């Protein structure tokens, strides 16, 4: 029997009664755009994250755009970020006509190397955008200290890390603005596209709310050039049904990760989670030198795996204009050749965890 990577079908079966009831309520009311479920979800997200403001929106990508719009990022501004992330991180910066400035990552956490940031700051730098890759926040204290010293803003791309913590606070409650994605396969996913922006800054919150509805201050009065960036009410209804189960899911993902690490860390490089942090375990990502062989063998055993990400952003065709080359960010380049994400979800039972680790160990030792 094939193992499921994210297990979204089983998850739906578990919460079906709540999800169906919530969706049916929206259908009965036909309040599809900015219905009360959207506002109810935002209050629930504030409660969960501790952030003063949670503003839902149409995707994790749009959440990043809304954050930069609120900060009035201008063409030519520079934003420092990591090249080892999903395209949306740097794409959103480029969409603002700002310039992504890449800084290499730490070998153990795959997150931006905070020690390298200061050397890349220029008089055009406006913000630092760390990504909480695979679910673990970056070195946020150091990043915030650098930002404070140079009068920069911090935007945390928490698309993969909803519910993760750094020094006991969720990463949605840190930085000047933090964002997340509710893409279905994300740790907390809806059933389509969705995202949220978090901030403790009242002015930013006010602006983001206007920006997501075409910069509208009141009906048909447009203060800013904004976007159509709202979360559908049906998606809010799905998330409202799923959120109460999420703390248990996080605990279950943590348990799966711990089992993997306990068994695998003798034979390969298991993920490293720093002591002052917790991961939402969007991915459990190992590092192996014979990745293609291992991936093929696991596939033969019905175990799906994914490579997040095979090409670092500085080597992507769309970013050729930034003039980076192979060798610019060696740690990211090395990671892109070795990383392999194995099945991770809250519904992986002990039997399947053992089957996966056994298949990995067999493949590694039968070379």
Ligand X SMILES: Cc1ncc(COP(=O)(O)O)c(C=O)c1O
Residues that bind ligand X in the complex, under the rule CB under 6 A: 59-61, 85-86, 88-89, 131, 157, 159-160, 181, 183, 193, 195
Q: Which is nearer to ligand X, 60 or 83 (CB)?
A: 60
Q: Which is nearer to ligand X, 64 or 264 (CB)?
A: 64
For the sheet containing 165-166, what is the strand order? 169-170, 165-166, 277-278
Contacts of residue 93, Cβ cutoff 8 Å, sequence gap at least 6: 64, 68, 73, 79, 81, 99, 100, 129
Least distance from ligand X to the Cβ atom of residue 160, Å: 5
Longest dimension (CA), the chain: 67
Least distance from ligand X to the Cβ atom of residue 51, Å: 18
Least distance from ligand X to the Cβ atom of residue 162, Å: 11
Q: Which is nearer to ligand X, 253 or 297 (CB)?
A: 253
Is-contact 70 207, C-beta < 8 A?
A: yes
**Structural tokens at position 319:** 């970013």
As to burial, measured by CB atoms within 10 angstroms (0-12 exposed, 13-18 middle, 19+ buried), residue 221 is exposed
The number of C-alpha atoms within 13 Å of 61 and in the hemisphere containing its C-beta is 13
Least distance from ligand X to the Cβ atom of residue 165, Å: 18
Q: How far is CA 276 from the centre of its chain?
A: 19
**Structural tokens at position 150:** 């140079």
As to burial, measured by CB atoms within 10 angstroms (0-12 exposed, 13-18 middle, 19+ buried), residue 307 is middle
Q: Which is nearer to ligand X, 64 or 357 (CB)?
A: 64
Contacts of residue 319, Cβ cutoff 8 Å, sequence gap at least 6: 90, 94, 100, 313
Q: Which is nearer to ligand X, 35 or 60 (CB)?
A: 60
| Alpha helix (H) residue ranges in the chain | 8-29, 36-49, 60-70, 87-95, 140-150, 202-211, 233-242, 246-264, 291-300, 330-338, 350-365
Q: Which is nearer to ligand X, 86 or 324 (CB)?
A: 86
Distance CA 12, CA 14 (A): 5
Q: How far is CA 304 from each of CA 191, 259, 298, 335, rounded to the nearest angstrom?
A: 22, 18, 7, 20
Least distance from ligand X to the Cβ atom of residue 73, Å: 16
Q: Which is nearer to ligand X, 311 or 355 (CB)?
A: 311
Least distance from ligand X to the Cβ atom of residue 327, Å: 24
Q: Which is nearer to ligand X, 103 or 353 (CB)?
A: 103
- Residue of closest CB approach to ligand X: 60
216 prior amide bond cis, ω within 30: no
Q: How far is CA 126 from the centre of its chain?
A: 22
Least distance from ligand X to the Cβ atom of residue 110, Å: 11
Distance CA 142, CA 277 (A): 14
Q: Which is nearer to ligand X, 61 or 207 (CB)?
A: 61
């Amino acid at each position: 029997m094939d193992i499921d990577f994210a297990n979204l079908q089983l998850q739906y079966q578990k919460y079906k009664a709540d999800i169906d009831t919530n969706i049916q309520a929206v259908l009965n009311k036909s309040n599809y755009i900015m219905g009360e479920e959207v506002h109810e979800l935002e209050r629930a997200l504030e409660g969960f994250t501790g952030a003063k403001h949670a503003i839902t929106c149409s995707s994790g990508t749009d959440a990043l755009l809304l954050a930069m719009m609120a900060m009035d990022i201008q063409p030519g501004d520079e934003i420092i970020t990591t090249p080892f992330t999903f395209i949306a991180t740097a794409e959103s910066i480029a969409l603002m006509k700002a310039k992504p400035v890449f800084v290499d990552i730490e070998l153990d956490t795959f997150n931006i190397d905070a020690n390298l940031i200061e050397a890349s700051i220029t008089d055009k730098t406006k913000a630092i955008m760390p990504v909480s890759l695979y679910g673990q926040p970056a070195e946020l204290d150091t990043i915030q200290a650098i930002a404070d010293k140079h009068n920069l803003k911090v935007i945390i791309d928490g698309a993969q890390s909803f519910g993760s913590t750094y020094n006991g606070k969720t990463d949605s409650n840190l930085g000047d603005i933090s964002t997340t994605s509710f893409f279905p396969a994300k740790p907390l996913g809806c059933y389509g596209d969705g995202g949220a922006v978090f901030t403790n800054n009242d002015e930013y919150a006010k602006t983001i709310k206007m920006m997501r509805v075409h910069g509208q201050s009141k009906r048909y009065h447009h203060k800013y050039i904004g976007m159509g960036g709202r979360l559908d009410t049906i998606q809010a209804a799905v998330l409202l049904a799923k959120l109460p189960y999420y703390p248990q899911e996080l605990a279950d993902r943590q348990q799966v990760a711990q089992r993997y690490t306990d068994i695998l860390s003798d034979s390969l490089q298991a993920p490293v989670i720093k002591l002052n942090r917790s991961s939402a375990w969007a991915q459990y990502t190992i590092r192996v030198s014979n990745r293609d062989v291992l991936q093929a063998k696991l596939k033969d055993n019905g175990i799906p795996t994914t490579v997040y990400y095979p090409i670092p952003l500085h080597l992507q065709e769309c970013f050729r204009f930034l003039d980076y080359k192979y060798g610019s960010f060696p740690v990211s380049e090395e990671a892109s050749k070795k990383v392999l994400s194995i099945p991770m979800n809250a519904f992986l039972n002990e039997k399947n965890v053992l089957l996966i680790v056994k298949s990995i160990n067999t493949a590694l030792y039968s070379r």
